[in-house]
Amino acid sequence: MTTLDTKFTCCAVCGEFSDQTVLGSSNTMEPPDLDTRPGEMLRSTIAYWIYECPHCGYAAPDLEERITDVADIVRSPEYLSNEGRFLRHVFLLRQLGHFAEAGWTALHAAWLADDENNPALAQSNRRLAIALFKQGKASRQNFMNDPNEEFALVTDVCRRAGEFDEALSTCRAGLQGDNLPPLIEDILRLELTLIQNRDDTRHTCAELPERPEGAQRVALDE
């Protein structure tokens, strides 16, 4: 089950206090989406992953954590022009050079936009996430445990953003990887079908085919 608590929080930027509804605990009872979004009940807690100070607009997973050089960024017109606490945190991370982390926050913002039935904003946030992941890789910042996982994630984010050409090229590049884990291969082959059908909707890992124990899929030319 999911538990929520109220915490009297002191903002590390302005020093003002506010009541924040914080996530106590949650769990998952369903398989994740192909872009790693968790199943319920954790799925419905995204709104509590980033908090915002109502006094100065500082947005972060922990408002009490002191981070060097944050105050000047938070007080800037560019920061305050971002709508919503998730995109404000994205801007902050980007200014600090944490591009991979910013990419994840942008993706979480897309998930929140999905829940708010705002497909245009969800697509925009996914495109932002892709750009930030690329910027992170250019700065030698990995955003997943290994490149195979990164290919699978970016493929799905591109597909959900309606960027089917980029999704296809990323998917094919991922399928050409050496020592491709069976799970990643199954995800990429499902993605290939979805891309060819120009399907930009949500799909989950529950849709992946069952593999007999010890079985290996025969690789086919794409």
What tokens appear for 152 in the block?
């699978």
Parallel/antiparallel/unpaired status of strands 3-10 and 17-25: antiparallel
User: Where does the pLDDT of residue 168 fall: very low under 50, low under 70, confident under 90, or very high at 90 and above?
Assistant: very high
Domain parsing of the chain, residue ranges: 145-198
**pTM: predicted TM-score of the whole model, two decimal places:** 0.92
- What is the C-alpha to C-alpha distance for residues 96 and 82, in angstroms, rounded to an integer? 16
Which residues, 6 or more positions from 94, have their beta carbon under 8 angstroms from its beta carbon? 102, 132
d(CA 107, CA 35): 9
pLDDT digits (tens, 9 = 90+) for 26-56: 888 899 999 999 999 999 999 999 999 999 9
Per-residue pLDDT tens over the stretch 87-102: 999 999 999 999 999 9
d(CA 116, CA 95): 27
Q: What is the mean pLDDT of residues 171-184?
A: 93
Contacts of residue 96, Cβ cutoff 8 Å, sequence gap at least 6: 67, 69, 70, 73
Find the DSSP H helices in the chain: 70-74, 77-80, 85-95, 99-115, 119-138, 147-160, 164-175, 182-196
**C-beta neighbour count of 124 within 10 angstroms:** 17
Question: Among residues 124, 141, 20, which one has the least CA distance to residue 82?
Answer: 124
Rounded-to-integer distance, Cα 102 and Cα 118, Å: 21
Q: What percent of the chain has pLDDT over 90?
A: 86
pLDDT digits (tens, 9 = 90+) for 181-215: 999 999 999 999 999 999 999 999 999 988 666 55
- The CA distance from 69 to 96, in Å, is 8
- The percentage of residues in the chain with a pLDDT greater than 70, rounded to a whole number, is 95
Task: Share the mean pLDDT of the chain.
Answer: 93
The pLDDT-based confidence of 221 (bands split at 50, 70, 90) is very low
Q: Which amino acid is at 206?
A: A
Asked whether 160 and 126 are in contact (CB, 8 A), the reply is yes
Q: What is the DSSP code (8-state) at residue 208?
A: S
